[in-house]
A and B are shown apart, each in its own frame.
Chain A
Amino acid sequence: MKKAIYFKKMTITLSGAFIAFVFLSILIKYGIINRYYTGILISFGINVILAVSLNVTTGFLGQLTLGHAGFMAVGAYCAAFISKNLVGLPDVVCFMIALTGGGLMAMLIGALVCLPTLRLKGDYLAIITLAFGEVIKNILLNLSFLGGANGYIGIPRFTDFGWTFWLAVITVLATLSLMRSRFGRVITSIRDDEIASEATGIAISRFKLLAFIFAAFFAGIAGGLYAHYMSIIEPRVFDIDKSIEILVMVVLGGMGNVPGCIIAAGVLTILPEFLRGVDNLRMLLYAIALIVIMLCKYNPNFNRLIHRWRNKLKGADRT
């Protein structure tokens, strides 16, 4: 019964995604969405992957991590290195290998960071992951075969709208179905109460590790997409600001709320672009907008208003 509903939902989501994809592709093909807006769509997709994957560790598992951009960097550099050195293969195959390689590398690094930090919680874990992000950035700054501070250049431009779109869809669906499974229940229970889960016979260390490497893998994929979209990457991009930006998406979208994260990723991708017109005031307005959104989000009156609208919409649907 539950499974049937679940599959029905999945089919609806997938067909919805497909329709959206066809629609957007046509618009792009006929130039109605120009290159600039396509670029925003691609950033949006990459941010969705980042936010949804961070939501697994921060939202569902309840561990604050500040180094997500570090995993993204590992994925970006590793994928770029692969696609630059792997010649003679068709583009699609080469890109696939590069992305997977980047994801797996990020996963490996994720495991390496996670293993010694499994016992840490809250602030301590945040500090360690923050430091990790900086360490990665500084290592990359000093690796001359990866371009160092000048940036790694000449990466083939494989990323297009289609790749980003479907990888984002895969990330979302993988996360949603994983969180509905036994695994999801287990990691939410670790967030709710570690002692109780341990007393229930859950090997919490193992599940923490699994959630971490899951998130790291998709962050790596997002990094790969980013590298092959920009065609030049530099370590500075993957600093603490980027990690915070992803975290803001998760907090804004709601801890453990996947659809919310997608919307938040959208808002936070478009908002800074939208504000380009006011140039000097851009970052100031961006900050103010963030504060207003956060205030509204936790304001009971505002939430009541939203609920009323939602109920009205639902009522209108039924009649």
Chain B
Amino acid sequence: MLKIDNLYVNYGMIEALHGISIEIKEKEIVALIGSNGAGKTTTLHTISGLIRPTKGHIYLNDQDLTKIKADKIVKLGLAQVPERRRVFAEQTVEENLILGAYTRSDRNAVKEDMEKVFTSFPRLKERRNQLSGTLSGGEQQMLAIGRSLMAKPKILLLDEPSMGLSPLLVKEIFRIIKEINQSGTTILLVEQNAKLALAIADRAYVLETGKIALSGTGQELLASEAVKKAYLGG
């Protein structure tokens, strides 16, 4: 479904990604793990068109995303939940969700989808008229995920959904990610919390200073000595 082919990205003179290749098949959960500064977020931003690569291609069902503008990419069915939540703080929960469906014109279906989001996140329903900047961290993360679902994506990119959340909430968020996947959405999950990410991922890639160091099924990597040493604490 999504194929990243030999991708190079530069920030000015500094090369952040040195030719990475990743493939995601339909209905999979693929995790991309790695430590700080490995290039995880850069990879995601390049996929969704916020950054342009210097070399390489990204194909979404045979369409080359590197030549398409960010706002058009969302229309093709690729949505991103940005890192650190990034909700629109001065707008209400409901307005945030409506903005998530910005690219769609089918108003009734949008309403239905909003109800669906509210069923998966009852907390958001309770707070639908509250300014989203006043939500707790966990609720904001739920809102960010809910907002990206409103675009009805075929593939969803999540950037560190566990960041800054309590272990209990992280578990809840991961359960929801699994649920979203089971309802037919392909997922690319970027995480530092390797243990949890690998546990729900079908396959995973380990990114190390801009290169893919390892790849395999989630279980394989969980068992791998190298991953254990680097990310799981021995």
Q: In the complex, which of the residues A188, A199, A202 contacts B91, with contact meaning CB atoms closer than 8 Å?
A: A188
- CB of A192 within 8 A of CB of B50, answer no
Compute how far the CA of A185 lies from the CA of B86 in the bound complex, rounded to whole angstroms. Answer: 16
Compute how far the CA of A203 lies from the CA of B87 in the bound complex, rounded to whole angstroms. Answer: 17
B29 to chain A, nearest CB (A): 20
CB-contacts of A186-201 with B (<8 A)? 186, 188-189, 191-193, 195-201
Supposing A203-B69, A203-B71 touch, asked if A197 and B99 sit within 8 A by C-beta, the answer is: yes
| Complex contacts, B90 vs chain A, CB 8 Å | 188, 191-192, 256
Residue B169, interface by CB 8 Å: no
- CB of B95 within 8 A of CB of A200, answer no
| Complex contacts, B86 vs chain A, CB 8 Å | 193, 195-196
Number of A-B contacts (CB under 8 A): 70
- CB of B103 within 8 A of CB of A201, answer yes
Compute how far the CA of A195 lies from the CA of B79 in the bound complex, rounded to whole angstroms. Answer: 12
| Complex contacts, A203 vs chain B, CB 8 Å | 69, 71
| Complex contacts, A199 vs chain B, CB 8 Å | 48, 50, 70, 74, 79-80, 82, 148
Q: In the complex, which of the residues A193, A198, A201, A256 contacts B88, with contact meaning CB atoms closer than 8 Å?
A: A193
| Complex contacts, B82 vs chain A, CB 8 Å | 193, 195-196, 199
| Complex contacts, B103 vs chain A, CB 8 Å | 200-201
| Complex contacts, A204 vs chain B, CB 8 Å | 71
- CB of A198 within 8 A of CB of B95, answer no
- CB of A185 within 8 A of CB of B50, answer no
- CB of A185 within 8 A of CB of B71, answer no
Question: Which residue from chain B places its CB closest to the CB of A192 in the assembled complex?
Answer: B88
| Complex contacts, A193 vs chain B, CB 8 Å | 82, 86-89
Residue B100, interface by CB 8 Å: yes
- CB of B74 within 8 A of CB of A200, answer yes
| Complex contacts, B88 vs chain A, CB 8 Å | 188-189, 192-193, 196-197
| Complex contacts, B40 vs chain A, CB 8 Å | none
- CB of B99 within 8 A of CB of A186, answer yes
| Complex contacts, A195 vs chain B, CB 8 Å | 50, 82, 86
| Complex contacts, A189 vs chain B, CB 8 Å | 88, 91, 99
Residue B174, interface by CB 8 Å: no
Compute how far the CA of A198 lies from the CA of B103 in the bound complex, rounded to whole angstroms. Answer: 11
- CB of A201 within 8 A of CB of B91, answer no
Compute how far the CA of A198 lies from the CA of B68 in the bound complex, rounded to whole angstroms. Answer: 13
Compute how far the CA of A13 lies from the CA of B155 in the bound complex, rounded to whole angstroms. Answer: 47
Compute how far the CA of A109 lies from the CA of B95 in the bound complex, rounded to whole angstroms. Answer: 33
B139 to chain A, nearest CB (A): 16
Compute how far the CA of A19 lies from the CA of B17 in the bound complex, rounded to whole angstroms. Answer: 66
A binding-site residues for B, Cβ under 8 Å? 185-186, 188-189, 191-193, 195-204, 256
B binding-site residues for A, Cβ under 8 Å? 48, 50, 69-75, 79-80, 82, 86-91, 95, 98-100, 102-103, 144, 147-148, 151
For the complex of A and B, the 4 pairs showing the least CB-CB separation, nearest first, are A201-B74, A196-B86, A192-B88, A201-B103
